[in-house]
């Protein structure tokens, strides 16, 4: 067989893509995951689709290309892109104070000691901006502080129940933001990267500026134009037979059901449309979003963002000092076992690769994973978008062995 016979679409080796299939299938055969869907595009064409295992293991429903997944924090880059469309329309500026739109967060106080008393405070030197929200540097969020349990209890949407976060309060938008506004900031705006809360506030901001629900705005500015027909904050009754079962580690080392299509928490529209972690989607839907960003804001003749806006979205804004502060206790966030921000920076809703560490994404690649094992990568150097969708509640949402192996097996198969 000559060289041309071994090269398939997208410049991949068909033989080497077989290794990818074998590795992904291995996670299913060993019982580590119930099922997986993976999709790769390169040079603008579909290069590989992989389905392995079960959408519902107990019912023996096979995993399919159109299976619907809870994408959790992969919601974040979608909502960041939506916010940037408002900037492009001139409805808001990146560095203007948000006090008029978010009066609950105006004239905030800042804790003198993040681990100390929330009553020991001083006035914030400036207001929160859209840039702060998009870079998760508003000064409050998930992270180490004395406010941590109270902030976790405000985690929104069905994801919070699936993660079994204790003492949850299920609140609507305005009540939730009022509660956040009662807390002092842990850090001054722009000082420290903190997770989750910024994205939720971003969704509220979008809704208030647009004068409509976040989901309606997402359908109008992203989902309908891109043909993302199965992406939403809930699963319609006629689609519920396509929703993957969500699993967690079982007491005997196997898998136990955490959320099932027959009784899913994603069955009804939530009172809080979580911009941080609420969406469900399919492999094809999310891949269309990733391909749009890789193609500098345009896909199939439909332009969502300008090239310069995508460049802004995928720029690392973390300062050298911020790079020294990994989030929480996640001490393994990359294939080289490094801490968070060792090899990545952060832009607007996405991590940006700033250091190559071997076989895998090149410098300038960008992504953000989800808490249920889902991940993706857009690599401008290789003109590649690859998405991996399992459904499993793991220990570290920023690193999974299947995610590392998926990237390694994808990149080793490049043959051009």
- φ/ψ (deg, to 5) at 27: -65, -35
DSSP, collapsed to helix, strand or coil, labels residue 359 as coil
Q: Is 341 within 8 Å of 156 (Cβ atoms)?
A: no
Q: How many CB atoms lie within 10 A of CB 103?
A: 12
Nearest one of 357, 314, 320 to 337, comparing CA atoms:
357
Domains 3-74+229-412 and 81-210 share a fold: yes
- φ/ψ (deg, to 5) at 394: -100, -170
DSSP, collapsed to helix, strand or coil, labels residue 28 as helix
pLDDT at 331: 67
pTM metric for this prediction: 0.96
How many whole angstroms separate alpha carbon 317 and alpha carbon 339? Answer: 18
How many whole angstroms separate alpha carbon 394 and alpha carbon 85? Answer: 33
Give CA 295 to chain center in angstroms.
19
pLDDT at 140: 98
Nearest one of 222, 250, 226 to 392, comparing CA atoms:
250
How many whole angstroms separate alpha carbon 141 and alpha carbon 16? Answer: 43
Q: Which residues pair with 214 in a beta bridge?
A: none
pLDDT at 6: 62
Q: How many CB atoms lie within 10 A of CB 275?
A: 32
- φ/ψ (deg, to 5) at 239: -110, -5
Could you tell me the residue ranges of all domains in the chain?
3-74+229-412, 81-210
| Domain over 81-210 is classified CATH 3.40.710.10 | yes
Q: How many CB atoms lie within 10 A of CB 283?
A: 26
Cα dihedral 391, 276, 143, 336, rounded to 10, equals 50
**What does pLDDT average to in each consecutive run of 10 residues of the chain (416 residues)?**
59 96 97 97 97 98 98 98 98 97 97 97 98 98 95 94 92 96 98 97 98 98 98 98 96 92 96 97 98 98 98 98 84 82 96 92 97 97 98 88 96 96
pLDDT at 333: 82
How many whole angstroms separate alpha carbon 199 and alpha carbon 187? Answer: 17
Q: Strands 344-346 and 351-353, how do they pair?
A: antiparallel
CATH of the domain spanning 3-74+229-412? 3.40.710.10
Q: How many CB atoms lie within 10 A of CB 118?
A: 18
**Complete DSSP assignment for 269-334:** --SS--TTT--EE-HHHHHHHHHHHHTTTEETTEE-S-HHHHHHHTS----TTGGG--STT----S
Q: Is the dihedral of CA 155, 161, 166, 171 positive or negative?
A: positive
Q: Is 5 within 8 Å of 387 (Cβ atoms)?
A: no
Structure token digits, residue 73: 């924090």
């Amino acid at each position: 067989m000559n060289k041309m016979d071994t090269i398939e679409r997208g410049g991949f080796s068909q033989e080497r893509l077989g290794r990818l299939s074998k590795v992904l299938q291995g996670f299913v055969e060993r019982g580590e995951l119930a099922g997986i869907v993976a999709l790769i595009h390169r040079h603008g064409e579909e290069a590989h689709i992989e389905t392995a295992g079960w959408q519902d293991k107990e019912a023996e429903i096979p995993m399919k290309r159109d299976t619907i997944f809870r994408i959790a924090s992969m919601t974040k880059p979608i909502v960041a892109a939506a916010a940037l469309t408002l900037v492009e329309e001139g409805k808001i500026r990146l560095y203007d104070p948000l006090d008029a739109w978010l009066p609950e967060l105006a004239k905030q106080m800042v804790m003198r000691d993040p681990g100390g008393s929330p009553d020991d405070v001083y006035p914030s030197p400036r207001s929160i901006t859209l840039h702060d929200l998009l870079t998760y540097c508003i000064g409050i969020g998930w992270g180490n502080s004395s406010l941590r349990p109270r902030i976790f209890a405000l985690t929104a949407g069905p994801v919070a129940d699936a993660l079994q976060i204790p003492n949850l309060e299920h609140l609507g938008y305005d009540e939730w933001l009022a509660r956040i506004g009662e807390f002092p900031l842990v850090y001054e705006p722009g000082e420290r990267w903190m997770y989750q809360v910024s994205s939720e506030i971003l969704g509220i901001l979008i809704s208030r500026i647009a004068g409509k629900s976040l989901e309606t705005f997402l359908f109008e500015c992203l989902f309908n134009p891109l043909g993302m027909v199965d992406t939403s904050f809930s699963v319609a009754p006629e689609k519920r037979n396509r929703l993957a079962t969500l699993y967690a580690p079982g007491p005997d080392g196997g898998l136990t059901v955490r959320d099932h299509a027959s009784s899913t928490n994603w069955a009804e529209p939530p009172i809080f449309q979580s911009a941080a972690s609420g969406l469900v989607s399919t492999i094809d839907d999310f891949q269309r979003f990733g391909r749009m960003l890789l193609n500098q804001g345009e896909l199939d003749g439909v332009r969502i963002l300008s090239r310069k806006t995508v460049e802004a979205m995928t720029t690392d804004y973390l300062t050298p000092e911020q790079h020294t502060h990994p989030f929480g206790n996640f001490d393994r966030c990359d294939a080289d076992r490094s801490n968070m921000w060792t090899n990545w920076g952060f832009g607007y809703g996405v991590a940006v690769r700033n250091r190559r560490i071997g076989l895998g994404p090149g410098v300038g690649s960008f992504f953000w994973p989800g808490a249920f094992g889902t991940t993706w990568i857009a690599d401008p150097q290789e003109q590649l978008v690859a998405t991996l969708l399992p459904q499993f509640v793991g220990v570290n949402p920023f690193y999974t062995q299947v995610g590392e192996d998926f990237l390694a097996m994808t990149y080793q198969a490049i043959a051009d």
